Structure 1
Amino acid sequence: MAYAALLSLLQTLEEYLPIPLKKITSDLQNNVSQLLGFLEDPSTKNSLPIKHFEGQIIDASFEAQDIIDSHVSRHVVLSKSVIRRVGSCFLETIAALQYKFPAIHLCGTSVNYMHPGLKLELEGRLKKVIDEFDTILEALSKIKDGKEEASQQGNSSIASSSRFVASNKSEMVGLDQDLMDIKDRLTGTTSKLDIISIVGMGGIGKTTLTRNLYKDSLIEYYFQIRAWVVVSQDYHVQEMFTSLVDSTRLTGGELHQTSIEELAERLYKNLKGRRYLIVMDDVWDTKAWDDIRRFFPDDNNGSRIILTTRQSEVAIYANSNSPIHHMSLLGSNASWELLCKTIFGQEGCPFRLEKIGMKIAHNCKGLPLAIVVIGGLLSKDSKQEYWEQIAKDVNLAVVRNVGEQFMEILSMSYNWLPHHLKACFLYMGVFPEDHEIFVSQLIKLWIAEGFIKPPTPKSFEEAAEDYLKDLIGRSLIQVRKRTHNGEIKTCIIHDMLRELCVKKARDEKFLQIMDWDMRTFPQGRDDQRRVSIHSDILDYLRDVHDSFARSLLYFCKRASNNQLLSYTMSCRLLNVLDALTIRFYEFPIGILELFHLKYLAFIYRGKRKFPASIYKLQNLQTLIVYQGYIDSSKIDTLNLPLNIWKMPKLRHLLFERSFLPCPFPTDHSVILENLQTLSEVTNFKCNKEVLKLMPKVKKLGISYFHDGRTEWSSYEFNNFVYLHHLETLKCLFIATDYRVTAPLPINLAFPPSLKKLTLSGCRISWEKMTVVGSLHNLEVLKLKDYAFEGSIWETKEGEFTKLKYLLIYMNSLEHWRANSTHFPQLRHISLDFCNKLAAIPSEIGDIQTLELLELSECSSSAVASAMLIQEEQQNLENDGLRVRINSIRDNYNSDKDTSLKKVTTPTYQIQCRFLAS
């Protein structure tokens, strides 16, 4: 985690170091930047010298950052002597690195300002460090050489999941559909050479599936030549060619001392004119494909190449025109079947072990490798007590019994990560098992933690999204849910990969999980910098001591507020405080002393007025406060202080309901220039001067409560158009008196950047829908509670060109006139409580992109028209359109997909609703 530690330090240096000390500070910043660049160099990624130095870099970065933050938090001016102390943290590390890597050019910051006697002492210490380093490096090299020699003799630990599965004779279970799909592609009608990529996380069964395809009798008959090569991370081009030539040649002969060029020519000649199947198993790098692809001839005879990898990037690079076959985790039934076959072979499981066995299979979370490993353990002992012990913690059982081998397989993915992604991946360990993680929350946390390198020209949030997509593409994180326009909404991490995160994070002083087995709070600089509390242990911990922890995340269900504050306040240099499972009935005023806080999230059910002293948190980027009521009618409006406008680093403000006062026009000291999210605020006046104070807002949620006395025009809705970066707008108009049904005046205008729009209670005429339809970037439109009013809606040509999701909820619409050209990219239509709608236009079924037409509590005639649309499309052989009819009387229809349902606590349900809003 040297990279993350350096990046965090660099941001601290840029933020806090004073201009008058520019010479010293610029040298120090240059050193840190150059160290970062050195770590980013791909050639240093897995070298032994760098691995040895990473620990030194981490310690030096921690010490340097602690010196700066401690002075800043006490409002002590950073003097030249303090900066020298900071620079001296790196002296030994920098000098030793320059000795081993002469190409590295570092300034040696504080050496130029050092006392001659201290300089001499440093030289002596440095010689000792380098001598020790040479000794360690020599020992590490011998260990590495010994392992390679043992590997050649077949006695090394398992290096890949392919070999692990093969050695355990795993059964192919739950892969029948995968087998059929790929077999169809292998023997398909296309004569052009096709590269078929199979992608999935380690241990998911890529090699098992491919091996069964390779040995299939039809495949053996269909292809004249077949060859299999395991590429792996540390592949050698000559060995790769030798293996392929050896498999494809028709006669024997010596290949031992043949050059790469000769081998490549032989491979090409052996394949030329023949229909061949080549399997490249366990490919990690696009370079491996580049080294060999030119020697696979395409004779338009139906030849195929199967490529297995954990990296989507490799698959796309090999053949961007061919669909990737993504491997899925096994379902419950397939997991149980595989476990049974692993333990009992063709014999059945004894009845007394079935229930506990099914639980164990379920707890493996569909990963075939984990099931095979657990099956091996259970096959040694058929006592029910032993099985019950395994069932309590499957992950622990795997780690204790075959942890080294198992973790080595998963660690290959982690070791292959570039430095900038390692911290982001390990951070997934802060969340409890099976926790569904909201991407918007995760990205805010990554930014507050300092993991995201200041991007150009992208924003921090956009760069963080790219990091997440990269981890997903590497099969390390799974997408759980997507938004209606296809963006990633929530993600999860497999339990076994989470175990890897926790283990690596603990070893690298990155993260400490506090559970029932801990009784002391982390303290001291050498302990973990991040603490995640997963159980209700606060009341049982021993004395509190000052801690250098920078992040506290509470996932406990209950805790004494006093005890929680006591532990929180022991971390005076805290950057992140996430307590979204803890309710405060009085505002935790002590938190406002945590000067370095960048991320703050908690439940607050106290006074409606927020303290003006929140302004003291000048480094705050994200503030999330919600009241945690299941019943939304109990939510009070939280009155925010005017001082919020004087917190320029704020990026995200999220409330359930709040009132944000507008600043005085004469006050030029207020501006939220970095604010991107403001949600939810009430009766916000959108005058042009106020909107200029938050020019970068991308997401805005506003509720207007109308008492019949205030003129709608006073809110100046037409000024939304001046928010040039606005992408998501949620605008609710709520009558406090049910007798008030005054429509919104037509002064509503939106910026062309808008992608998601939710309107409720506007009561605008359908004739004015052109204002919305003309938004050519609009992808999601939700119209609720008579947002538009009238009996007829006639869509027009050229409108809604990018709309993917349309919701109409509770409306008096009777006649909807539209055709397929009006919604060229629409995927999902949801009509709820449209009791008067006579029918859905039949032309809607002709929209080629439409996947789902969903009706809930609509008129019987509308339902009948939807069913007729589906029937007509089926007659046209369009099986891609589904119609779903939901009804309260039918318990909202069993047709709904329940595979993603899980038992949740009320607090978690509220949190989901809040974070997803």
Structure 2
Amino acid sequence: MAERSVSFLIAKLGSLLLEEANFLGGVKTQILSLHDELEWINSFLRDADEKRRSNRRVNLWVSQVKNLAFDAEDIIDLYMLQIVRQRQRNIVKRFMGSRKYLFTLHKFGNQVEDIKRRIGEISANRSKYGIETLETGETSTRLDDCLGRKRRRDNMEEEVDVVGFEKDIEKLATLLKQEEESDRQLLVVSIVGMGGLGKTTLAKKVYDRSDVKNTFNSCAWIYVSQEYRIKDLLSGAIAQLMMRTKEELEKKNEEDLKNLLSNYLKERRCLLVFDDVWRKEDWDTLKLAFLPHRDERKQQRVLVTTRIMEVAKHTDPLIAPYELGLLGDKESFELFSKKVFQYQARIEERSYSKDLEDVGRKLAARCGGLPLAIVVLGGLLSTKERTLGVWNKVVESVNWQLNEGPQQCMDVLALSYTDLPYYLQSCFLYFGLYPEDYEISSKKLIRLWVAEGFILQRGEETMEDTAEEYLEELIDRSMIQAASRRPVGGVEKCRIHDLLRDLAVSEAKKDKLLEIYGTSNCSASSLSRFRRLAIHPNNNGMHPVSSSTLHHLHSFLCFSFDLQKNEWKGLYVGFNLLRVLDLENVKSLDKLPKEIGGLVLLRYLNLRGTKLRRIPHSMGNLCNLQTLDLSDTYIRHIPKEIWRMQQLRHLSFSSRYLSSNLVECIEKVVTKIGRSCCRRPPRVDNLKDLQTLHLPASSWIEGGLNKLTNLRELQIEGKLSLYTRALTDSIDKLKKLKVLHLWGKYEIEYYWPFVSFSHHVDLYKLVLYGRLEKIPALEDFPPYLIELRLNRSHLKQDDQPMATLKKLPNLKILALGWDAFEGKEMICSGGGFAKLQNLNLHELSNLEDLKVEQGAFPCLKVLSIHGCENLKMLPDGLQHVTTLQELNIRSIGNALEARVQKDTGEDWEKIKHIPSVTTFFY
């Protein structure tokens, strides 16, 4: 970790010497000398970092180096702050000739000399206390070439290792499927065991079984953990059971959600899984919120996972908790081997020598039968050479005297952490900022890593691509879990196991890297010198954030939507070193003070989902900003200040006002007036580093969109017809696009002249909202298109879009929604859609007859039919689609409601083989 801090400081000093040499004056020589000293000291740090856990002298020495690096970084940042502010005031030359500049330079020189003096003392201590005699070995090489293995998985599910659970799965499934007893009000099955035993994995395997799914009308998985809000849990359950959208549910209060769920459960038999319940009081609250009426409870089944036996017994006193035990030696070695050989394609590579097998069995056995420890250790060894010498060093490098109780596997987890390459350690520790059981967006996480400076430029590769490889390597090592994957194979959302999160928090706190406000052991007075602060939900409130105790703060992330204004308003004054400010969904945020323009070192600003109505002009001073998210705010128009932020890499803006018909009309008028009065549109091509751009349509499209050749993701919504030519010409030149959304959402009569995407080889997701003259020719689609969504396309019966779309060779997801097709008959012929996994037919109001011929959809897993009110019956061909795992039907009650009833409906024979059939008619 200290090595990473010093490496980053060395890179910063190099940039300072290269880019700001004119401002260094007489201290340039001192900076060069400091740079050289740090390079020498960094050469010793890698081995020292590995020894710090077992050697107090080394630990103290490494901590001193780390603190020195942090102090030096702050000194440089504060000096750069002065330079940037003078540059923004256009008085650079006058400033350099002023007494203030000479004073600033003199002060900076003294601070650099002080850092150099401290380096001398630290270097002397290395020799004085024998630290320089540390042994170096194979582990210091770190296998830095690991990232050369770019693995892109095709499967979208989380990888789950199950060994030794077969009998447990069968017993639990039988319990859940049994018919209700007349004298019982509710049947609850609980799985109890310490952290790392695999409770969630076991519950997920039971939950996913087809015979279990077929027993119920619908199922929902609810993550609880120690920090939760009933409204969030209710929304999540309703979204799964009733297929309601997030936008629908956000508008409802907690009582509305309870009533909605209660009315649904009265008529249906459902399975609810509550994962990670910590207190008896939590269970009582959950039961009251989800199943408030006794007559609703008889039909339902509940599966609970918990670490606390007292909680397990409390959930249902009549059913003994299912206590999960440790794995035996045989199962332990089987799971260990599964992880060690997880990426060996050839069978001959999946074997041990006799000596190596003996060491492997010893390693697996010493994990004490705890699956998490085995999986993590196996993930570590999967990255190393399978030689006796390498594996024996692993045996020697950990204290195998494992503790009893929940901390049993911490030594193994700590070993896996210290074995991480230095460039991954900061990335892993960052997960400590997130609440327990939190599903983390990988896209957002990667942007945060880049803003934090964890990712260094590597050749021509973007930092975002490098960061994605880092995340994949953490997953390969089983330090992080992939909760879901995109169709193209990258990680969409990830999670961290509670015990590994505890490790991340513990290690990060040692070095003052992060603190969590909202936990019982944290107070305002304890936050001094912490560089990152996360706010977690806390019913007791918190003290206002103050620069007097947090002037070293680099990052502020809020996960508490109810944060009050007085608790965060101090962030804008005195926090000169702030690089990350994340206030997403903070409901009290409706105004930004002009002081925010003083945070010129800020790289990441997330104000998504707030009630913000405008941004101050001073925000244009944020010249280092890389990510700006103003999505789903109350700002009416694109702020002109953003055109000055030339370092932007990711820009998102959308207004809640866009959903109002009145405002839509005003926007049309304003846009037309703006185009006639404004001769020079905003120059979007000033933002040459943009990779992500989400904006409503306006004259900026004519301001150089075609020059943004680094764009990977482009989303535009609004009056597209005003800019058709500029938009068409621009898209043709944006050859690096991966994702394209075009939403002509005001234009019922607008025809989109389809651009040929034949040369867009990276474009895998295409979303079009607006009329199409006809279905494009096959050769005009992107050659590697994986996901296609068409809305309001108004394709005619004669177009028969499926005849063309079935030939797209890589298509995995197809969604036709909101009158994308106006015909009455849709034919899916045999031999088509070779790779399609997910088909969504949404609001096709004229559709009466859906035909699926035998041989169509050989890989289809999910079929969703929503709002197709005139559909008379399900296609006979569905019974031949044996790969189907989910069928979701949602509509206003029509002929289908009776036809899909279990056992009695005329269409039941066609779909009874599908593990999960969810219907909702209203």
Q: TM-score normalized by structure 2? A: 0.61
- Which amino acid in 1 is paired with 2:859? T
- Which amino acid in 1 is paired with 2:560? C
- Which amino acid in 1 is paired with 2:637? L
Aligned residues: 647
Check the 8 A contact 2:766/2:788 in 1, yes or no: yes
Match of 1:784 among 759, 780, 791: 791
Match of 2:692 among 677, 694, 704: 677
The residue number in structure 2 matching 1:176 is 167
Deviates more, 1:69-78 or 1:695-704: 69-78
- Secondary structure at 2:417 match in 1: helix
Question: Hey, what's the Cα distance between the residues in 2 that align with 1:415 and 1:832?
Answer: 50
Q: CA shift at 1:697, angstroms?
A: 1.2
Q: CA shift at 1:622, angstroms?
A: 0.8
Check the 8 A contact 2:760/2:782 in 1, yes or no: yes
Match of 1:850 among 860, 865, 872: 860
- Which amino acid in 2 is paired with 1:678? L
Q: CA shift at 1:430, angstroms?
A: 0.8
Q: CA shift at 1:231, angstroms?
A: 14
| 1:380-779 equivalent positions in 2, closer than 5 A | 402=405, 405-515=408-518, 516-521=520-525, 524=528, 527-536=529-538, 540=543, 545=548, 547-582=551-586, 583-603=588-608, 608-627=613-632, 637-641=636-640, 643-657=641-655, 671-683=686-698, 686-687=701-702, 690-705=704-719, 711=722, 713=724, 715-735=726-746, 740-746=748-754, 752-770=760-778, 772=780, 774-779=781-786
1:836 aligns with 2:878: no
- Secondary structure at 1:680 match in 2: strand
Check the 8 A contact 1:513/1:533 in 2, yes or no: yes
Check the 8 A contact 1:674/1:696 in 2, yes or no: yes
Question: Hey, what's the Cα distance between the residues in 2 that align with 1:759 and 1:626?
Answer: 18
- Which amino acid in 2 is paired with 1:611? P
- Secondary structure at 1:422 match in 2: helix
Relative distance call for 1:559 and 1:814 in structure 2 (3 A) is: same
The residue number in structure 1 matching 2:329 is 211
- Secondary structure at 1:53 match in 2: helix
- Which amino acid in 1 is paired with 2:643? W
Question: Hey, what's the Cα distance between the residues in 2 that align with 1:214 and 1:544?
Answer: 51
Q: CA shift at 1:26, angstroms?
A: 4.6
- Secondary structure at 1:696 match in 2: coil
Structure 2: any 5+ residue segments left out of the alignment? 87-100, 136-161, 172-194, 202-324, 341-350, 366-373, 387-401, 659-666, 903-910
Per-residue CA deviation, residues 145-171 of structure 1 (Å, 9 max, x unaligned), is: xxxxxxxxxxxxxxxxxxxxxxxxxx9
Per-residue CA deviation, residues 773-828 of structure 1 (Å, 9 max, x unaligned), is: x3112111111233645553253499522211111112213444554655332222
Q: CA shift at 1:761, angstroms?
A: 3.7
- Which amino acid in 2 is paired with 1:734? K
Question: Hey, what's the Cα distance between the residues in 2 that align with 1:551 and 1:511?
Answer: 9
Check the 8 A contact 1:280/1:308 in 2, yes or no: no
- Secondary structure at 2:840 match in 1: strand
By relative contact order (CA 8 Å, sep 6+), the higher-ranking structure is 2
- Which amino acid in 1 is paired with 2:724? S
Deviates more, 1:424-433 or 1:835-844: 835-844
Relative distance call for 1:16 and 1:421 in structure 2 (3 A) is: same
Deviates more, 1:414-423 or 1:436-445: 414-423
Question: Hey, what's the Cα distance between the residues in 1 that align with 2:444 and 2:607?
Answer: 13
- Secondary structure at 1:468 match in 2: helix
Check the 8 A contact 1:615/1:644 in 2, yes or no: yes
Relative distance call for 1:798 and 1:885 in structure 2 (3 A) is: closer
Q: CA shift at 1:403, angstroms?
A: 6.4
Check the 8 A contact 2:591/2:614 in 1, yes or no: no
Relative distance call for 1:854 and 1:282 in structure 2 (3 A) is: farther
Relative distance call for 1:214 and 1:477 in structure 2 (3 A) is: closer
1:805 aligns with 2:813: yes
The residue number in structure 2 matching 1:825 is 835
- Which amino acid in 2 is paired with 1:496? L
Q: CA shift at 1:30, angstroms?
A: 5.0
- Which amino acid in 2 is paired with 1:62? F
- Which amino acid in 1 is paired with 2:80? V
1:86 aligns with 2:112: yes
Q: CA shift at 1:757, angstroms?
A: 3.7
Per-residue CA deviation, residues 305-364 of structure 1 (Å, 9 max, x unaligned), is: xx9764447559899xxxxxxxxxxxxxxxxxxxxxxxxxxxxxxxxxxxxxxxxxxxxx
- Which amino acid in 2 is paired with 1:782? R
Match of 1:793 among 786, 789, 800: 800
Question: Hey, what's the Cα distance between the residues in 1 that align with 2:879 and 2:884?
Answer: 12
Question: Hey, what's the Cα distance between the residues in 1 that align with 2:512 and 2:699?
Answer: 45
Relative distance call for 1:41 and 1:539 in structure 2 (3 A) is: closer
Question: Hey, what's the Cα distance between the residues in 2 that align with 1:496 and 1:768?
Answer: 52
Question: Hey, what's the Cα distance between the residues in 2 that align with 1:761 and 1:230?
Answer: 46
Relative distance call for 1:528 and 1:860 in structure 2 (3 A) is: same
- Secondary structure at 1:625 match in 2: strand
Question: Hey, what's the Cα distance between the residues in 2 that align with 1:668 and 1:809?
Answer: 35
Q: CA shift at 1:519, angstroms?
A: 3.3
Relative distance call for 1:282 and 1:844 in structure 2 (3 A) is: farther
- Which amino acid in 1 is paired with 2:590? Y
Per-residue CA deviation, residues 351-385 of structure 1 (Å, 9 max, x unaligned), is: xxxxxxxxxxxxxxxxxxxxxxxxxxxxxxxxxxx
Q: CA shift at 1:89, angstroms?
A: 1.9
Relative distance call for 1:816 and 1:37 in structure 2 (3 A) is: farther
Check the 8 A contact 1:712/1:744 in 2, yes or no: no
| 1:41-56 equivalent positions in 2, closer than 5 A | 48=55, 51-56=59-64
Q: CA shift at 1:598, angstroms?
A: 0.8
> Once the two structures are aligned, what percentage of the paired residues are identical?
22
Question: Hey, what's the Cα distance between the residues in 1 that align with 2:869 and 2:684?
Answer: 56
Deviates more, 1:720-729 or 1:676-685: 676-685
Q: CA shift at 1:618, angstroms?
A: 0.8
- Secondary structure at 1:74 match in 2: helix
Relative distance call for 1:897 and 1:501 in structure 2 (3 A) is: farther
Question: Hey, what's the Cα distance between the residues in 1 that align with 2:380 and 2:503?
Answer: 23
Question: Hey, what's the Cα distance between the residues in 1 that align with 2:545 and 2:687?
Answer: 42
CA RMSD of aligned residues (A): 4.8
- Which amino acid in 2 is paired with 1:57? V
- Which amino acid in 2 is paired with 1:437? I
Question: Hey, what's the Cα distance between the residues in 2 that align with 1:53 and 1:519?
Answer: 28
- Secondary structure at 2:607 match in 1: strand
Question: Hey, what's the Cα distance between the residues in 2 that align with 1:556 and 1:93?
Answer: 41
- Secondary structure at 1:730 match in 2: strand
The residue number in structure 1 matching 2:217 is none
Check the 8 A contact 2:646/2:687 in 1, yes or no: yes
The residue number in structure 1 matching 2:308 is none
Per-residue CA deviation, residues 172-194 of structure 1 (Å, 9 max, x unaligned), is: 974438999xxxxxxxxxxxxxx
- Secondary structure at 1:766 match in 2: coil
Question: Hey, what's the Cα distance between the residues in 2 that align with 1:815 and 1:231?
Answer: 49
- Which amino acid in 1 is paired with 2:13? L
Check the 8 A contact 2:836/2:857 in 1, yes or no: yes
Check the 8 A contact 1:202/1:310 in 2, yes or no: no
Question: Hey, what's the Cα distance between the residues in 2 that align with 1:10 and 1:801?
Answer: 48
Q: CA shift at 1:448, angstroms?
A: 0.9
- Which amino acid in 1 is paired with 2:808? F
Question: Hey, what's the Cα distance between the residues in 2 that align with 1:312 and 1:762?
Answer: 48
Question: Hey, what's the Cα distance between the residues in 1 that align with 2:792 and 2:585?
Answer: 32
Check the 8 A contact 1:760/1:787 in 2, yes or no: no
Relative distance call for 1:667 and 1:490 in structure 2 (3 A) is: closer
Per-residue CA deviation, residues 563-606 of structure 1 (Å, 9 max, x unaligned), is: 41214534221111111132322223222211211111125766
